[in-house]
Amino acid sequence: MAATAGGNKIRNAKLVLLGDVGAGKSSLVLRFVKGQFVEFQESTIGAAFFSQTLAVNDETVKFEIWDTAGQERYHSLAPMYYRGAAAAIVVYDITNAASFTRAKKWVQELQAQGNPNTVMALAGNKADLLEARQVPAEEAKAYAQENGLFFMETSAKTAINVNDVFYEIAKKLLQGQQTQNPQGGMVLNQRPPERTVSSSSCCV
């Protein structure tokens, strides 16, 4: 993993994206991680997760960002997806009222599956398309407040508020003083298998 930067504490945090197909989940990540935007982003294929570090004051959060890999399309995300998520961004499209309705379902799902300490953000994406707006910002904001989420309207296209959402999450994670996944197990690393039988600690 990444080297420890100047003795800073590095906090690893799994962040999951939720929301309907086409709301712009992958675009938000690509904007945040690579600073890119593609007008006609294909449905998510190719990456299980991205990682990106973010410095907040003298601390660093290393996000491991999980995208849905299309498994949300027929509502078939595995429990594994939610496990250990320190943060979640529920994304909807401000030009699509149905996507906002579905976003609320995702929030419910997250509340059922995730852990109670998960930091949740609601992102109204495609905020550059104001003329096509179907979801009033006030309505989303009120919903977010009632449900303990923080809310921002974002545009992966113009980059408005994209870094801010992640920065805000990082701040909340650091404030949260949560213990870091105390039950964590080991992740098998990619070290190539050692075929040598010289391992001196073994019988054979």
The footprint of other proteins (CB under 8 A) covers 2-3, 33-34, 44-53, 62, 69-71, 73-81, 83, 105, 108-109, 112-113, 183-190, 193-195, 197-199, 201-204
Smallest gap from residue 171 Cβ to other proteins (A): 19
Smallest gap from residue 153 Cβ to other proteins (A): 26
Classified as helix, coil or strand, 80 is helix
Nearer Cβ to other proteins (63/151): 63
Classified as helix, coil or strand, 95 is coil
Residues 6+ away with beta carbon under 8 Å from 204: 197
Nearer Cβ to other proteins (108/175): 108
Q: What secondary structure does DSSP assign to 102-127, as a single string? A: HHHHHHHHHHHHS-TT-EEEEEEE-T
Smallest gap from residue 159 Cβ to other proteins (A): 18
Nearer Cβ to other proteins (87/127): 87
Residues 91 and 24 sit within 8 Å (Cβ to Cβ): yes
Nearer Cβ to other proteins (40/74): 74
Smallest gap from residue 5 Cβ to other proteins (A): 11
Smallest gap from residue 130 Cβ to other proteins (A): 31
Main-chain dihedrals φ then ψ at residue 124, nearest 5 degrees: -90, 100
Nearer Cβ to other proteins (48/177): 48
Which of these, 65, 68, 87, 88, lies nearest to 77 by C-alpha position? 68
The CB-side HSE value for 75 (13 A sphere, CA atoms) comes to 6
